[in-house]
Structure 1
């Protein structure tokens, strides 16, 4: 079959070449339309309870993670020069498209009681520019007398000040956000130049925008780097520019197909899908090496037949032999690699599903690209010269292959003992593995994204939003039952006392603010009102429907900040709190403690208390991805095993094939445990990927072994020796390409991509060793005298 396919490809070379060019052009057009992903990718499915709760919350109260925060730290904040610059920054940022409003000191309001009507009114504290030093001092004294803002937008102990930019979701989740963030950072840079004070930037919209831009840049960098590295390795191996260009042509077409596929499927470039183009290069080059290696081997045999056969016919025979011998091998190798990626499509996580579908589909397409393009181009190229095939007799590699032969034949007990010892140590390390992830743990700790986030955690307890909803199960249950308000205040105090959480915002904080105003602005009266105080503060409670009584300026700053902390029926109260990025390991314990305290204050038979927000979604998303990846490893292992069983039709060979690939995965997991590398989405991903790629080496070795077995009269030892020498060089070369290709990812600015690089490279190094030493030993030991 494969021999006939080789002849068919050469016979119809012009038609196939034209079809390949036309299809590649179409995919190039589609690929040029692929877009960067701007929406926050959901790790959990749409129908997941956590996601449903979050979406319902957003419909009722708006976005919980759409604030960009700016922070400064200076003891000269209320000086005339600095404060006027700060107010100008506040006013300029407010004019930027996409900024809905700003919470900050320049726009802060005070609630005062009208002397004649005794009505509460909200008025801006700081007047418009320019402000004299006396105006600033007078306004600052009023501001600092308002406990409401303490810990919310300023920290008097550390002299840190915060400004929060509430962003328009329709802008921040579109490609316009790059321009918006660029405009914000440009204005901030001007402020820094004018004042000499550094501005800290954080918040989910800002972090996502910066990371998305880095993803796009890294994709281009890694793609170019992988192509250049592959070109260098190919030149060193084959000493042939044509072979190098042919191989690069194959993988470049594969990259075009992969990007075009993203557009056709309606996917966008994300942190994971951005890895696919360089992965296509890394996985595609070994295809080319194996095809070219077999072509050169076949050409040498054809060249030894003498001059009776025309050179073109010899070349044709070599190409057909290449296809007939390597077609089935390469097909199953690509299928195995594709399975390692495609199993991610079985998970319910959107980000993993997209990655699995695009990667699995295009690795399979890569086989057909190689199968069609390589034979046709080789047919048009001149036959190989002596320097092109000299690598087949590399003395250094042959000496190493001789050593491998001796180890497999004479030191099998030592091989098994060392393997068992390493496996035991590795298994012990796996028990030390822990699952933990942070919101920004993919960036270095010296990165500004990380250091700025820590600034806000140190001075304002963090920026990760947590939302708590308390349903009283009764209409007007929040405002007409004083005990409910006292319970909410008690719960808020419990949250504020926790070191990893800021002071929560809720209805009761507004009541405290209003009570202070009601008692002539005395800060000592910033406290939970008594039941007797409530009639006088009822105006505040009704402020949602009575905003005409306060200035529009005050409504924008105070009303929007406070009055969204209960629903329209006043049945449900909301507590909004920012917290530190404590990691997925500690977050469940924290949430359990919060829920326990909530259940004590709000019995389940009378109230419904639910925790939601981006922090919960982040935690559940990390768990969901890790569990999905664990399942994908099982399915990858099972599907690859079935492919191997179908290919070799021997349980004995199936066992021999799986052991050398399981051992590297165990060793990698053990090293992660002993080195303290946590299990998180980026590191669990490695195992399925490495298994799919490493099995490639096993398939090539065993297929060659099966093909040679009949020629050696089923003499297993002779066949193993021949297989080591006939496939060893190409296995070592392709392993070097794969390892070097994944090492490129070690230069990533993202911790997850970096881990993918060095851990996958480690697994592939171990897999190469086990497949060239342990696999031959197993074949000899398990064969006995039985025929394979």
Structure 2
């Protein structure tokens, strides 16, 4: 298969594929979409999509705070803010703005309806009256003005479900208008800003890790092989493998996203690990006196099956993520899994042909480096034989402690927790949490119960009053609007604009406001009711307290609804984008178990097929499950919480770590097929495969450690935890696995 002629044909095909890609280059697109982290094909998502169709997308807004160290009740400041507000309204992709600058309250009197400006700065007296009214009103505090009156809020509603490109353009237009408004201090936070900054960071990181991976690989290759061909061949293979993978995803319109940052490093270390096994075997053949051409043919022919199996298990480890219900994870897993197999193709299509073309340096069997390796591996194997029982007990003890740590791990995630801690966007969101009671949308669906006429019925409004009070207290919600808010506003309008009348209307007052309801629903700046008054929304903002605390609050909500709200009158259901993100984090253990279960099954089937033994299949899994448990213990010690982005670490780490076990077991089978005894076969496998396992782990750990330089949380923790898992797997493969095989005593 790997004769010189066949290898040259394969090399030519690889170069032709690369040439086609370079001629028909795909468009490079970067993207970050919050909704790609929603659980797909989930009942909660379907419910929200229906709810969104009736009302609006709950996160298509930008919060704009204007002000400073003094109160905003200054006519010069307000004139500048009002001018800015008018300019914002004129932008093409802005649907509307909501602020005190142009908000008017209806006043109903015997002569009809008139409208009164909430904030009037026409003269000093009116401005002072407005100040007194606004600061004394719970209706506006923390909703449209900060509690101390130092910041004024403009809530800008952009085009629904705006694209990334349009969002970037709109945000830049808004930023320019605000910067040129003459107002010195301002703060901006919202979806269109967050997506833009995520992608900018993403582009920087993608370029950085591509470059740093290249530098690392060159350094490691020089250290390991100390020959120019030992650097040139792997660099060519890895460069083309990464190019093929990225091009494949772009050809299928899969943009590069926050998860794609890890792909160059992952593919590099996987491809390099495969090359090291081939090169190590190739150099062994050279030392044994085989001519170069024969050494190439033997080394690739004997190891291609083992390397294929390691690549397929790694690939399937990633592909298992496709069976989760999170879109971002699905396609990261699918394209990285395909990328691993493309890297395998790059290795077997390019490396043999290049080695035939190149003349390697002479390899000495007795150089000090080789002698040191052989001596070290023999000592390690003898030590393992002498301490079999102690090794088992130490592994059992550490694993039990780690299992305890796993039981104590908490699932908790934040909307922006992948961003670096000192990022300006995080600081802006915290500003709105502090000054305006929250930046995270909070959304509830309201429906009239089976015994209710509609949501504006007096008895139903009283149920809404209880619900609203609970949500403000339990969730710390601010800027709450609902059908009850609409009823309170109409009640206030019918009582000459008295602030005391902004309260739940009595039965008689409900009858008085009924004639005005239709027009009020149409003119409301925020849609809170459908035209038949049977469906509505309670909408507000809250702090991003994390999915753990949010889950506790939702549990309290369920208990409250069960005990306090009459379902015959009012049906309540939490929904919205924040709720869906929380669900994604909360389902992390199920996602992790699903991916790992699939990976375990594949590995067990492969090893079981190789040895025709279920016992060996089980033994092969043990050294790869234990490192995952140890990582859980490490997470518990360092206070690292489980979340959607850290859950994938276990599936990825298992898929990569199991490669060494498969190499070990494949070599063991080869030695047994030569008629060697069980113990002697284990010894030869240990001595000959151990070096390659150590070198590949060194490269893998070094490669993933680079990811700890990332500013993205998902990338940082992936590098840290996967690197540790691979190190633990090395220890298990070279210490525990031989012990388990020795204790098995008999040949399969």
Aligned equivalents of 1:68, 1:147: Cα separation in 2: 23
Q: 1:238-637 residue pairs with structure 2 within 5 A?
A: 238-302=225-289, 314-386=291-363, 393-473=369-449, 477-478=453-454, 481-498=457-474, 500-538=476-514, 540-544=516-520, 555=523, 559-561=524-526, 564-600=527-563, 602-637=565-600
**What TM-score do you get using the length of structure 2 for normalisation?**
0.92
CA separation of 1:477 and 1:503: change in aligned 2, threshold 3 A: farther
Question: Where does structure 2 lack aligned partners over 5 or more consecutive residues?
Answer: none
Deviates more, 1:764-773 or 1:149-158: 149-158
Indicate conservation of the 8 Å contact 1:27/1:261, yes or no.
no
Aligned equivalents of 2:519, 2:367: Cα separation in 1: 83
CA separation of 1:536 and 1:294: change in aligned 2, threshold 3 A: same
Q: CA deviation at 1:600?
A: 4.5
Question: Where does structure 1 lack aligned partners over 5 or more consecutive residues?
Answer: 304-313, 548-554
Equivalent in 150, 161, 164 of residue 174 of structure 1: 164
Q: CA deviation at 1:143?
A: 4.5
Q: CA deviation at 1:678?
A: 1.6
1:309 is aligned to none
Indicate conservation of the 8 Å contact 2:39/2:580, yes or no.
no
Q: Can you list the C-alpha shifts for 1:575-607, whole angstroms capped at 9, x where unaligned?
A: 112222222222233223224433455433444
1:748 is aligned to 710
Equivalent in 33, 45, 52 of residue 51 of structure 1: 45
Deviates more, 1:430-439 or 1:533-542: 533-542
Equivalent in 691, 694, 711 of residue 732 of structure 1: 694
Q: Can you list the C-alpha shifts for 1:722-772, whole angstroms capped at 9, x where unaligned?
A: 333322222221111100111111111122221111111111111111211
CA separation of 1:525 and 1:787: change in aligned 2, threshold 3 A: closer
1:153 is aligned to 2:140: no
Deviates more, 1:535-544 or 1:368-377: 535-544
Aligned length: 747
SS at match of 2:508: coil
CA separation of 1:394 and 1:715: change in aligned 2, threshold 3 A: same
2:17 is aligned to 23
Q: CA deviation at 1:342?
A: 1.2
Aligned equivalents of 2:343, 2:31: Cα separation in 1: 25
CA separation of 1:423 and 1:534: change in aligned 2, threshold 3 A: closer
1:550 is aligned to none
Aligned equivalents of 1:662, 1:39: Cα separation in 2: 34
**What TM-score do you get using the length of structure 1 for normalisation?**
0.88
2:629 is aligned to 666
Deviates more, 1:769-778 or 1:719-728: 719-728
1:311 is aligned to none
Deviates more, 1:39-48 or 1:283-292: 39-48
Indicate conservation of the 8 Å contact 1:79/1:133, yes or no.
no
1:70 is aligned to 64
Aligned equivalents of 1:126, 1:163: Cα separation in 2: 16
1:35 is aligned to 2:29: yes
1:90 is aligned to 85
Indicate conservation of the 8 Å contact 1:158/1:459, yes or no.
no
Aligned equivalents of 1:424, 1:141: Cα separation in 2: 64
Aligned equivalents of 1:97, 1:214: Cα separation in 2: 27
2:54 is aligned to 60
Indicate conservation of the 8 Å contact 1:439/1:581, yes or no.
yes
Aligned equivalents of 2:135, 2:35: Cα separation in 1: 41
